[in-house]
Structure formats: structure tokens, C-alpha cells
Structure 1
């Protein structure tokens, strides 16, 4: 099957909410790529393996590896794409005497599942990178290198903590789970239980719990909470509704429960989040 080659940028980062990929064909490039799905669910083909990627998952793609993004659900998704060449990292430390953080890309484990607090950490680094890259304040190039190294070091340590044997098959697409994930992304504001979802999609509760965790890296409750909190973050920063209204709108029946889960995932209370990130 034919694949297209693209010359990688020395450094490029952008964040977009979209329906379709701007790179619909199988392609590869001579740079490293870090892809972060902020919200939604998509399918990523990497080296002829299909992976289900859900919101809060980080994807790392090595140089010259063939890949393709497919949004089979047809629903909008928000993503951050970072592309860079090794040369961009030059000059950060004297004599380049530092840990080989780029070795993570060669491990053959493209997907990294993140906890709620890790997602917050990563998203803040991306936000800083986007600000530096687009606004270009004095010293922005050096700061971008430092932020990139901090991100790569985080990935290196995260990858190093993955237990043996390597979980190379985790997140391979399971058709039934993909359907369930798509359903939850569209109906996150409704009340769901494992029993109800199992009955709706004709799958046993025990098998559902097992395969859902294997394919997404999250338990059913963790995933649903992540989807809801992502939407709550958007509402908090783009609307002036009261926190109680937003909590109910994203599917939480208790304001106290919403506040606890929100802080657990983002690291801060809803009102503080609104104050810090209000658009």
C-alpha cells in the first residue's frame, strides 16, 4: 500500500478541534511526532496496527514510521500535534551530555495512558509551548527547547515504569469497545451503569470491564469521568454558568461529587480552574 513522505518541521505545534484529519493518507516523515487527544475518540494506524485512542491518551510516533489517523465515528475531536527534529534539541546542555530521552520512541509502545493529574501536567506544558510558539516572546526558542525536554523526560520516565513484558497489544482496537466509547462520548451527560451498557451492547459485564480496561487504559468509571470533566473544563472557561449548572449538564447528580472528581482530575477546584483559564 502506497504511503506519502512529508518533510518534518524543525519544530511545530498546534491545537485544533476538528472532524477530519488534515493528513488522511498513510504517511511518514523524518521527524518525531507527539499526538495528544484532548477529547473524543479516534483510530490510529501505526505500523499496520490499529489502536483506539481516547481523550487523555498520548501517542508517540518515531521517525519514518507509517501512520494514519481515522475518525470513524464522525464526531468532532480535539487534538494537539507536536512535531520536531532531533536537531531542534541541540545546544540545550553542554556537550550534549544528557539522558537519551528520544529512546522512548524506539520502544514500539506508541500509546501512553495518563492519570487525571498527569493529563493536567501534560496539557499545561502544551499550552505553554503553544503560547511561546505563536506569540514568540523574547527567548522563546530556548524556552521551547526546555519545555520539550521536560515533556520528553516525563515520557521517558513514564515508559521506563511500564512493567515487563511490554504491553504491546494494549489498546488494539476492539470493535465492540470502540462502539461503546463512541456512545459514551455522545451521551456523557446521561446516567450510565456497567449493567445498562452491557445490556445495550450485548456483552457480559465481566467481559466488558476487562476488555474496556485493556482497550482504553481506563476503567469504565474513570473514562466516563474524564469525558465529563473535559467538557466541564470547556464550559467553565467559555461560559458564565454557575458550577452547579455545569455539573448537572455534564452528568453529575451531586455537586460535591463533581467537585471531588474535578479536583482529582485537574488538580484544582472548578472555580479556581475558571479563574486561571477563563477565555
Structure 2
């Protein structure tokens, strides 16, 4: 089953929004795992003081060992498999945060950003993450944190189960005035931190949230909130990184310019877009614009525009009965041969195969 087939199942994550009128890229969000945890070694016991609370779940012995962060990501020649957009996230009813547990096979989430702080825990399998131009390979037991506003990309490798926790910016800012200047540590290797009591305690609170979420017993949200606050207390008191005000200002300026360019492309990607047009639009020298975009996005402006076009084409192939030629032309391609080649480089198959999936 493909990611997009899975994606048509009922999911709980809010869609990634391309337009102000909320045209969505992922129509139904990520798939979720409805099953109760049956992982070997899960005690599933009850804490004496909390009748409905499970004993903290710990990763089983013998799980694949994770690797440390890596600095390169293999890419296919031609169009890269990343793009950037803004993700709008809505909290699950009864919870102050967004939480989900989902299983996927080689799932690609293109580069995007949001104001929420995002925590990913790899319950099983592996995931490739690119965040702030640095690449990481995560394995079972690893935790990765995406700070507010960071552009990031994820791709699971084979069958993977992931815990996803997203915490609203306002949730932090109400308790920590000036939260915008705070950054947390990003990468927590299970191998590196396996004997660190603070990390193990923080991880156990996250796993217990997962148990409560999957079982969803009456009143579970109260216990979930308790473990959430313990998790955040450890995160804040043990894993905040110092950052100079000048660095924050520079990052904010760069990110604001990138978001303005991205917004413009999303509104005009179906039109001819030349480098001279876009550089004039943002009052930048064409050579400087090329260097700026490539440095901060990891690929050229033309590659990005074509990736945006292809993503919309893929969505229409799955959701409409329009002909491939109609869809291709509607989203800015005029050369069928070039379109087929680029589509296959990104998705690994021709558009006709996607249509028949």
C-alpha cells in the first residue's frame, strides 16, 4: 500500500496548506495506527496510585541501534524530493496539544514549517530528517525535536511507527514570556542517552502519553496532561540551548524572506516564472537571489518551482478524473516529455501508474 493510499484512511493531523483559501496538499492527513500497543516487552501494568495509568513503557532489548547525525543526503539527479510550505496544526479535541501515533512505509513529508514545537519519537523503524540544512538518520528509540519556525523535511525508511507531539507556540509563550528566543536541543540518540536518567525519564513520559492516547479511557486527558507537563519540565530545565540575540535576528530575517518567496510561488506557480522576474519582484540581484535561495533551501529556484507544480499534479491525479494532459497544463507544464521525466525522478513511476493505483 502506498503512502497516498494510506493517506486516504482516517487520520488526525491537520493538512498542509498551500493557499490562503486552504487548498490542501495532504487531503486527509497522515494515517494513524488504531491498534493498542502489542510490542514485545510492553508491561502494560497499572500504577498503584493512578488506576488507569500504565507503567512507563521502555523500548525492548535488541532494538536496532541508531546512528549519529549525518551530514549528507543522497539525492536523485534532477529534481530533489523536497519542497517547503506552511503547515497549519489543530489540537486534538480534549487535549491542549496535537498528538498522534502513525505507521508508514517510505512516507515523504516535504519541507515545511510551523510555529509549533514538534517532537518525533521513532517507536520502530527508521526516519531521515533534514532540519536547518543538517541531515539526521533516526532509528528506534531516537527522539528529534523541531524548534518553532524551523524548515524541516522527513522521510521514513521502510515500515516505521512514529509518535508525533506538536505543542502550540502560545502554549509555551503563556508560561515562558520571550519563548521566541528559546531553542531546544534537537537530536536525542537512544544509543548516546541510554544510560542518562533524565533522558530516560523524559522519554518514559512521552511513551506513557502514547499509551493513554491509544487506549483513550474516560478522563485520560487529565493523566495525559500530567505526563505532558512533566515531559516539558524536563525538556525546559535540561535541554535548552543558549542563543545570541544577533543569531535570532538573522535567522528571522532570512526565514521571513524565504516565506515571502514561497508564498509568491504558491500563488503563481502555474504561470511562467523566470529567475529575472522573481528577483525583480523581491528587489534582489539575480546572482544574489540564486545563491541565497540555493544556500537556504538546498536546491535551485527552478527546481523548487517544478517541485511545487509536481506536488499539485500528484494531488489532482489522485483526486480528480481529469486527463493527465489537462492536469499537467493546468499546473504549469507544457512539455509532456519533460514532465514525464521529472515526475518519474521524484515519484519513481509515471503519472499513468499513479492514476491507476
More helix by share: 1
Structure with greater Cα Rg: 2
